[in-house]
Amino acid sequence: MQKSFIRLMFILLLVLGSVGSLWAQSNSKARQINYDVLRNGRVIGTHTLTFKPEGQQLRVIVDSDIRVKGVIFTWYTSDHHSEEIWQNNRLIWLTSFSNDNGKERRLLFEQTADKAKIIYNDNEKTTKPWILPSSLWHPDTIRQTVLLDTMKGRLRQIQVRSVGQETLMIGQQALLTQRYEITGDLKRQVWYDQSGDVAQVSFPASDGSIITIRRRSP
């Protein structure tokens, strides 16, 4: 039993190391990943990840634009823009601005080896480092117990479990992915492809509808 467990952990470490290596290679040059945002299967917006290497640092820009339209008027809008600065595979700085159906949210996040500072709508607090953001794109997300909510500036306590491999249809392409379930203060289903990039995210909205962020065909 013990030998089988050790063998399983060794294989898992090899797989995770391989994904991390592929991810690092992918982000050695500028690139962009585009997604559609769907509500109960209907497109309501867009989501974009932009990666920009800057010397020893990596800038990651996240843009989301959502419009839920009724018969006569648009009853919900959400615009979100955030920028993350990573160095040595660690998040050191993040800023975001969101207009959540008319409510403005501003966040500044900085962390060093000693502490992390969160300033949300001018309210400041400090906490322990090293924290990853809820943007989910980083492959180390699956090994976290706390994530920073990049819209509301809150620390979300989470649990992550592997659901297994699944094949997603991205346009006409069959894509092999690994699916993870995030529970706790943040509820997400996340599908990562074999390079470590997010292929799809799904979660329940406050009104009970299902929101899906699905990668577009390359």
**Per-domain boundaries in the chain:** 2-72+131-215
The least confident of 17-31, 74-88, 177-191 is: 17-31
Read off the pLDDT band of 26 (50, 70, 90): low
Query: What's this model's pTM, rounded to 2 decimal places?
Result: 0.85
Distance from C-alpha of 60 to C-alpha of 120, rounded to nearest angstrom: 20
Question: According to the model, what pLDDT value does residue 205 have?
Answer: 87
Mean pLDDT of the 90-101 span: 95
Residues in Cβ contact with 183 at an 8 Å cutoff, skipping those fewer than 6 apart: 158, 159, 160, 161
| Domain 2-72+131-215 CATH class label | mainly beta
Question: According to the model, what pLDDT value does residue 71 have?
Answer: 64
Tens digits of per-residue pLDDT, 44-73?
999 999 999 999 999 999 999 999 887 677
Q: Please say whether the beta carbons of 150 and 107 come within 8 A.
A: yes
First to last CA, the chain: 44
Tens digits of per-residue pLDDT, 100-149?
999 999 999 999 989 999 999 999 999 999 999 999 999 999 999 999 99
